[in-house]
Amino acid sequence: MTVPTATGDVRLRRALLAAERDTSPRLSPDGRSIAFLRTGDSGPEVWLRTGDGAERRLAAHHAEAVQDLRWTADGSALLYRHSPRGRESWALSGLRGAAFDPIRISSGGSVTEYWLSATEPDALVYSHRDARSRSTRLFQAGLGDHDRDPGGGPRLVAADPGFHRWLVDSALRPRGGTRFAADGSTEIVLGDDLGTARTVLTVPVDATPDLAVYGFSRDGERLFLLTGGATGTRRLVAVGSRDGSAATLFEHPELDVGGYPIGNDGVWFDPVTGEPDLCAVMDQRLRYHGLTARARAAVASLAATDEHSAVILDRSADDRTWLIVRVHDDGPIAYHSYDPATGEAEPLFVNRPDLVGRELSRLEDFRFTAGDGLAISGYAMRPRSGRPPYPTVVLVHGGPAGRDLWRFHADAQYLASLGYLSLHVNYRGSKGFGGAFRMAGYGEWGGLMQHDLYDAVASGVASGLVDPARVAFCGASYGGYASLLAACTRQDLVRCAVAISPPCDLVSFTERPPPYWQPLAVLLRRQVLGARDSAHYRGRLDERALRRRSPAQALDASCAPLLLAHGVRDPRVPVAEVDRFAERAGDLGVPVRYLRFEDEGHHVRSNANRQTLFTEIERFLETHLGV
């Protein structure tokens, strides 16, 4: 193997720290063009790639976030939502016609969702929340309104009847919505119109994390959704919009329906019929399950291999052309045009062109048995040089009902380039492995979920992979909380910790959750405090126990060195909470470095800020782990 030069190392790390360049591609209805986002140092831009490979910039939204790109049914316009970075307050804009002229559909407040008509390409409906209210109203707009009438614009369709999310059919008729009951359960409210809507299905509070609503069948008679619960797995269900009858369309006996975040959430629909025809589950790798003979044949050549997993991103209106991406663990993901009839794939472009041809580390499966006998899985990434045991960073995923996946992990690759092993643990409470496994994390913030992480280190030490004298924890959101707690309570195990956007005080977190989480307050408390009336409930945690499990209360002068990072715009974890923690740690004499990003929210997104963050992480780990 060729040893990279110092200059090569610097260039590699700079490329790993940069945001993905080309992302979020959307296939035009005729299958001939692809709209996508291109992100540079200034921020995201909307681009178009035509069938001959030519590329063209359509719009720039520097210092913003852009998401939810969608074509109208005839391909005459492209819509998307955008927000100042970290604000999570979304405007709806678009580009129309052969010249892709810009149109602004909404401003002020936040567009939470929008729907396009299958038969009237000029029409759309969107839900909108005012800046100072949690109330969400429904508006209708036409893409040509402002051309025909300068005083025209969106028209109110319906005021808020207490819905968390609206349900709109393909004819853009509001048919109901979802709303939270006092006990935290979710009510599915349906009818031929809002005047006749009634609750047809109640999803228990403990099944709410599994709930995903896709939309109506073409005739409006069925609503497709994913649901799970305390037992069984997340499954695809069709609910009768008139009588609430529920029929399971697909269920795996061991794994939840789900997929990669870059694609659909485990369910794909035939664009010709509007019916679901594919489902997927994720164990260590993605597995497809065709619901029709045609779909089974189409995905036969998309089965995961040792080299990549193929993810379906989009399908043309006639279903003759699919847009897929091949996910690699040791290189950039590669977009392809795929013919479902022949199984042939034609390469298009990659998301990180600066990494093409680089020799990078691979992910390997990592499995162990927790102290109480529960089987836990995850991944490990070794550095390409050196010999075990390695200095190790435990990368704790957020959620906690998230999960780690087999994928290209830029942060882990960065650590590997510095000589660190990384562990990626799907501790109890992670999603994807059934309701019982997810709910095994209820009441275990700082408890058994935390001990799963410590058991992972112990397993790595026993196998000879992990150097027990050089272990760090690193994570964001819940992962930041777990990393902080480890530094405060397990100095015998953890030499230092990196915590990004961490909740610091479980007492205030459960008693006074941030406004962002108010609709889910009951579920949040059940997750943190324990699941009452659940087979996994081990007794309600009292305030004393919450304090023991809170980094803010466990912090003392013996805490391991800390690197903290937080976005001032974060709507989920108040910046003042992290400010207080950092100040108190410094007053106690704990070695602490605090990065406060004025232009970020719950995540550190910009290339410049990621460069700053990981440069500090590199110095921090070198100081405390000695690499």
The answer to whether the beta carbons of residues 594 and 567 sit under 8 Å apart is no
Which is it for strands 309-315 and 286-290: parallel, antiparallel or unpaired? Answer: unpaired
22, 210, 411, 570: the active-site residue:
570
Which is it for strands 363-369 and 375-381: parallel, antiparallel or unpaired? Answer: antiparallel
* pLDDT < 50: residue spans in the chain: 1-7, 147-151, 532-539
Domain ranges, residue 591: 363-625
Q: Which of 160, 188, 213 is the last residue of a domain?
A: 160
Q: Which of 160, 184, 218 is the last residue of a domain?
A: 160
Q: Which of 115, 137, 160 is the last residue of a domain?
A: 160
The confidence score (pLDDT) of residue 455 equals 98
The confidence score (pLDDT) of residue 3 equals 37
The answer to whether the beta carbons of residues 87 and 102 sit under 8 Å apart is no
What is the spatial distance between Cα 565 and Cα 581, in angstroms, rounded to a whole number?
12
Q: Is residue 300 part of a domain?
A: no
**DSSP H helix total and E strand total for the chain:** 13, 35
Inter-CA distances, 608 with 256, 395, 422, 611, Å? 37, 22, 24, 5
241, 477, 483, 606: the active-site residue:
477
What is the spatial distance between Cα 571 and Cα 555, in angstroms, rounded to a whole number?
24
pLDDT digit string, tens, across residues 369-388: 999 999 999 999 999 889 99
Which is it for strands 334-339 and 246-250: parallel, antiparallel or unpaired? Answer: unpaired
Q: Is residue 423 part of a domain?
A: yes
Q: Count how many domains the chain has.
A: 2
CATH no. for residue 50?
A: 2.120.10.30
Sorted by sequence, the CB contacts under 8 Å of residue 151 that are 6+ apart come out as: none
What is the spatial distance between Cα 210 and Cα 435, in angstroms, rounded to a whole number?
9
477 is catalytic: yes
| Phi/psi at 419 (5° precision) | 105, 15
CATH no. for residue 561?
A: 3.40.50.1820
Burial class (CB in 10 A: 0-12, 13-18, 19+), 545: middle
Q: Is residue 571 part of a domain?
A: yes
Q: Is residue 394 part of a domain?
A: yes
Q: Is residue 515 part of a domain?
A: yes
Sorted by sequence, the CB contacts under 8 Å of residue 604 that are 6+ apart come out as: 500, 565, 567, 597, 610, 613
DSSP 146-198: HHH-TT---EEEE--SS-SEEEE-TT--EEEEEEE-TTS-EEEEE-SSGGG-E
Task: Sheet with 174-180: list strands edge to edge.
Answer: 165-168, 174-180, 186-190, 198-203
Q: Is residue 445 part of a domain?
A: yes
The confidence score (pLDDT) of residue 18 equals 84
Q: Is residue 488 part of a domain?
A: yes
61, 308, 536, 602: the active-site residue:
602
Q: Is residue 294 part of a domain?
A: no
